[in-house]
Amino acid sequence: MSEPESAEMTHPELPQLIQFSIVARKDDGFNGAELKAAFDRVGLVYGESVQVFERLDDNNLVDFTVASMVNPGTFPAYNLETFSCPGIVFFMQPRLLDDPVPVFENFIQTMRFLSADLDGVILDHQRQPLTDETIVAFRQQLSK
């Protein structure tokens, strides 16, 4: 049995996916070079094979992923200064994590930093502004 399968079986009560996003306040969206600089500041790394940014744990396993809101969700490897997107999407798969609560805390902290740094608005899984109540509800669900 592979690790993801055993993790899925260990945490079947957890949501399969948590998806929040940050949308730009500016009409022209986020510039790719500015995104890359902000991602560097929070320790997100570019996954060459998947063309998205990832938070990696100490074992180089993915804690969460950040994709572009522009289809297909990838970021170019080069010429980021010519790339722009209206927002970015954060994905976390709690069932695949040994301890999802600290990862969720980092997920939220990273989004808060980036939304302030890039001048964006954090939206929840229902595309509404993220509230403290929603964060508490997810935290409680992950703590079960």
pLDDT for res 44: 97
For residues 39 and 46, give the distance between their C-alpha atoms in angstroms, rounded to a whole number: 9
pLDDT for res 12: 66
Rg (CA), the chain: 15
pLDDT for res 110: 98
Average pLDDT, 10 consecutive residues per value, the chain (144 residues): 44 85 96 96 93 94 95 91 96 92 96 97 96 94 86
pLDDT for res 5: 45
Kindly tell me the sign of the dihedral angle through the C-alpha atoms of 96, 57, 30, 80. Answer: negative
Q: What is the CATH number of the domain that holds 10?
A: 3.30.1400.10
Q: Is the Cβ–Cβ distance between 115 and 22 less than 8 Å?
A: yes
Taking only the tens place, the pLDDT of each residue in 31-61 is 999 999 999 999 999 998 899 999 999 999 9
pLDDT for res 11: 64
- Between the two ends of the chain, the Cα-to-Cα distance in Å is 24
List all residues 6 or more positions away from 75 whose beta carbon is below 8 Å from its beta carbon: 32, 35, 36, 46, 51, 52, 53, 67, 68, 83
For residues 106 and 61, give the distance between their C-alpha atoms in angstroms, rounded to a whole number: 15
What are the beta bridge partners of residue 21?
A: 89, 123
pLDDT for res 2: 38
Domains in the chain, number: 1
For residues 78 and 38, give the distance between their C-alpha atoms in angstroms, rounded to a whole number: 16
Q: Is the Cβ–Cβ distance between 125 and 131 less than 8 Å?
A: no
Question: Which strands form 120-123's sheet, in the order they lie side by side?
Answer: 45-47, 52-56, 62-68, 87-92, 18-24, 120-123
Which range of residues forms the domain containing residue 66? 3-143
